[in-house]
Amino acid sequence: MRKIAVLFLTICLAFTFSACGNKRDADAIIEDAINAYSATIGQDENVESYMDELAGIDEDKAKLWQEIFDYWDYANNELVVNEGVLPDGLPKDDSLAIVILGFELNDDGTMQDELIGRLNVALACANQYPNAYVVCTGGGTAKNNKDVTEADLMAKWLVENGLEESRLIIENKSMTTLENAGFTYQILLEKYPQVKEIALITSSYHIPWGSLIFEATILKSAAESNTPKIHIVSNAAYNTVNEKYKDVLKFETMQLTQLIEY
């Protein structure tokens, strides 16, 4: 009887390790596909073979990541960046959320000019679509002032410049674009289920990167939790350059890799 029990336990452990191994294999395949795409800007035929390999392990995961790769192509090749204002034709009601991405604060906790530039664009967009919610997203990034967050300072500036406080949604925990997306999605799902679409406000160089990470994060979260998708439908940009973030592809690659286990 003891031998049977030991044999049964051995089989169970082998099955468990095998299942875990498959999961690790799937994640490794996705990471290889991300790196292959990044190295060749989508021209590496291995990306398709990686997706075929992934489908042999997990068809749903392969379908999800193929959708993410398709959006990556779109974001870097076809996405139109709107400078200063949103286009006409977006929803006129509160099914639209205007999401402003934060930017690291000065060491003393004040906002940098680039963030204020984003806020000016956001205020113009909020006036264009007066029934849309306005989401401020960004955590505490001031080295010498831990009492302030990007989102709270952004919200204060917007109210001081005429935005109705009742329109504001504040996400003040995130430290990366990936967390901006994940935390914002959860808040909208839980407290503002009427929101179906997002218009993203950030710096011009950040629009493709931000749109990609938001769309990918929401696609993955929705697939894994069986919750409604909220799509990025448009954008408006504060037109600027930033040498620190000139290699946008590097940051896209890094954050998509982090998304695998997010």
Tens digits of per-residue pLDDT, 13-25?
A: 334 434 444 455 8
109 closest CA partner among 159, 149, 139 = 149
pLDDT-derived band at 45 (thresholds 50, 70, 90) equals: confident
Amino acid sitting at position 145:
N
218 has a pLDDT exceeding 90 = yes
pLDDT-derived band at 96 (thresholds 50, 70, 90) equals: very high
C-alpha angle 201-146-134 in degrees, rounded to nearest 5: 25
Integer CA distances (angstroms), 156 to 9, 149, 159, in order: 60, 11, 5
List the alpha helices (DSSP H) in 90-201. 113-128, 150-160, 177-191
123-157 pLDDT, tens per residue?
Answer: 999 999 999 999 999 999 999 999 999 999 999 99
Q: Which residues, in sequence order, are bridge partners of residue 99?
A: 135, 200
C-alpha angle 167-174-259 in degrees, rounded to nearest 5: 115
91 has a pLDDT exceeding 50 = yes
Q: Is the pTM of this model over 0.85?
A: yes
165-190 pLDDT, tens per residue?
Answer: 999 999 999 999 999 999 999 999 99
Count of other CB atoms within 10 angstroms of residue 237? 22
95 closest CA partner among 236, 228, 235, 230 = 230
42 has a pLDDT exceeding 80 = no
Supply the angle between the helices 248-259 and 59-77 in degrees, to the nearest 10: 160
225-245: average pLDDT: 97
73 has a pLDDT exceeding 50 = yes
106-129: average pLDDT: 98
pLDDT at 183: 98
72 has a pLDDT exceeding 70 = yes
pLDDT-derived band at 9 (thresholds 50, 70, 90) equals: very low
Query: What percent of the chain is predicted at pLDDT more than 90?
Result: 86
